[in-house]
Structure 1
Amino acid sequence: MTDWDLQLVVPLWQGSGEPGIAQGSTRLAEMLSPSTVRHIVEPDFGTRDTHANNEDNSLIESHDAVETHLIAASNVLRALMPSSLLTLGGDCTMEVASVSHMALIHPDLHVVWIDAHADLNTPESSPSGQAHGMPLRTLFGEGHPDLVPSTTLSPQRCALLGTRSMDPPEQAFIAAHELPVINPEQLQNEPDLLEELLVRWLPDGAPLYVHLDLDVLDPTVWPAVAVPEPGGLGIATLVAVINKLRTRGNLVGVGITEYVPGVDHNPSTLWPVLDALGITVQGRNNNAAQEG
């Protein structure tokens, strides 16, 4: 079990356009044991007059709601200054606040982005205008100026695992910066590729943040996501990946995103993944007895 300094619950859904994601953050919180300090981000949206109305806000759908959530989350992190963090979302945009904070606390932070999507669009390149397709690029310092955090991340400190859906501008960015990408088929059939990556990319014992978008799982395994993509990981493969990461790095942060509990699914499917991450499921034995 990992004793997190803080569990941060961020029911941000406006970055995706899928309201069901908000319930996902609270459902995850209910599922897990609140063994550490827990804070739910409930921002005050104020009024239209209290928000800066930049001319290019239209480049990002629900810009103000996204910005307000990130500001509120960042304020909590700044006040509590956790050195280890479990973030429960919410759409992927929330990771801008969490990863930025952990990069401030741990300057040599490495980030593994376990996600079906690269999340490397900019407001100008995004085909949808939805912020949840932009957080990693924003963390690299290339996003809407309202959303780019004060502490950014170097692309050399990031690797993408399970990624299988990328827009052409994202592919171009990956090629230009030589970002490591290992797709689901490679993770399943060529496990040595991950071992080789970790040896050359992740220093032994380096602080590690794992971003887990649940759409990295195949929809036949875990359909309860906002943007399902075929050809994803199975539970056993994802657990094996996490175990390898934890053997090499020092896990200081995890973000779990894009859970839509309104879609028919079995929550206990996720338990082995949470176990691998060192996250305790509350009342697990009772739940198992009821489902059995």
Structure 2
Amino acid sequence: MNKLNVSIIGVPMDHGQNRRGVDMGPSAIRYAGVVDRIENLGHTVKDEGDIQVGHADGQVDTDTNLRNMTVITEAMEALGEKVQAVTKTGNFPLVLGGDHSIAIGTLAGISPNHENLGVIWYDAHADMNTSETSPSGNIHGMPLAASFGHGHEKLTQIRGFAPKVKPENIVIIGARSVDPGERELIRERGIKVYSMHEIDKMGMDFVIEDSIRYLKEERGTDGVHLSLDLDGIDPLYTPGVGTPVPGGISYRESHLAMEMLHDAGIITSAEFVEVNPILDEKNRTADVAVALIGSLLGEKLL
């Protein structure tokens, strides 16, 4: 197994939605032993600390229908700058959230270092709303759309360019809660989605094998970013998330997915988001995040 230099970047962001506590996610994942877990695999770890996130009033702007946009875009600019700097050194960026709005900044930092970036979006939700389609104005439901250039300019133009990823280079895995506007956008942009229906019918092994084939062979990507929302996993295993959706991916299926992605050698960056310790039970969700990070980075039973 190739040994990596892993840079951990925490983003204590809870402004992308309206449930407090997810800003403590990076601390919970660190407390669950993520550094030791990675180092025990023979990788080198540098904890880069946390991106500074400002305060916000939680209000939805009446002109844009976006909640806390200014403070989020400021933090995402800083995150993008940090991720790009880390990636340029050849390190593997591992970003810890925080709500899923942070993916806007992560992808803004990763994209310039690739000619043809791919993204695996492991999530119960499509996160492809815009200010026009969002019922809540919560930006954590918009990062994927913003990253392929669809949505408010202040979100799509983080770091001064768009798109960060081509929509045809995206694979969504685990979807089971998709809004009407998102369904239309998925069909319009030709985004590949494996919902729980496909996972149940064909099995996780087929889904991951086909995702790897699609991104590597059909799309010819030169790197793949994994954006893993802990609510992609069934809330039986991850109770500490803000938007749980029953009927999700199992704990074992998720380990299989991470192990297969590791063996394929296509993942060049990753983020684990939406761990909310206030909603959790004895840090169970952070423990799951750390275990999955271990599998993604090469941990084996034997």
Same fold (TM over 0.5): yes
Aligned residue in 2 for 1:97 = 105
1:117 maps onto 2:125 in alignment: yes
Mapping for residues 32-43 of structure 1, pairs under 5 Å? 32-33=34-35, 35-43=45-53
Task: State the distance in 2 between where 1:213 and 1:82 align.
Answer: 26
In 2, Cα distance between equivalents of 1:257 and 1:196: 24
Alignment of 1:1-292 (within 5 A): 3-31=4-32, 32-33=34-35, 35-43=45-53, 58-80=64-86, 81-83=88-90, 84-148=92-156, 149=158, 150-151=161-162, 152-191=164-203, 192-203=206-217, 206-265=222-281, 266=284, 267-278=286-297
Instruction: Provide the residue aligned with 2:41 in structure 1.
Output: none
Change (3 A) 1:118 1:144: same
Count residues in correspondence: 273
Mapped to 2, the partners of 1:59 and 1:279 lie a distance apart of 42
C-alpha distance in 2 between matches for 1:100 and 1:165: 26
Unaligned runs of 5+ in 2: 37-44
Identity of aligned residues (%): 25
- The 8 Å contact of residues 188 and 237 in structure 1, kept in 2 or not, is answered as no
| Conserved 8 A contact 2:118-2:221 | no
Amino acid paired to 1:198: I
Q: Over aligned residues, Cα RMSD in angstroms?
A: 2.5
**Which stretch of structure 1 is more off in the superposition, 246-255 or 234-243?**
246-255
User: C-alpha deviations, 1:229-280, integer Å up to 9, x for none?
Assistant: 0110111101112222233342211111111112242354444312212288
**So what's the TM-score if we normalise by structure 1?**
0.84
Give 5+ residue unaligned stretches, structure 1: 49-54, 281-292
Matched to 2:52, the amino acid is: E
Whether the 8 Å contact between 1:187 and 1:193 is mirrored in structure 2 is yes
Contact 1:187-1:237 at 8 Å conserved across structures: no
| Aligned 8 A contact 1:242 1:276 in 2 | yes
* Native 8 Å contact 1:27 1:261 kept in 2: yes
Change (3 A) 1:167 1:4: farther
TM-score (normalised: structure 2): 0.82
1:57-113: per-residue Cα shift (whole Å, max 9, x none)? 541111122122112212333554454210000011111111122111122221100
Contact 1:215 1:258 (8 Å CA) reproduced: yes
Moved segments of 4+, more than 6 Å? none
Q: What's the secondary structure of 1:13's corresponding residue?
A: coil
- 1:36 counterpart SS class: strand
Instruction: Judge conservation of contact 1:125–1:169 (CA < 8 Å) in 2.
Output: yes
Q: Find the aligned partners of 1:78 and 1:200 in 2 and give their Cα distance.
A: 26
Letter of the structure 2 residue corresponding to residue 196 of structure 1: D
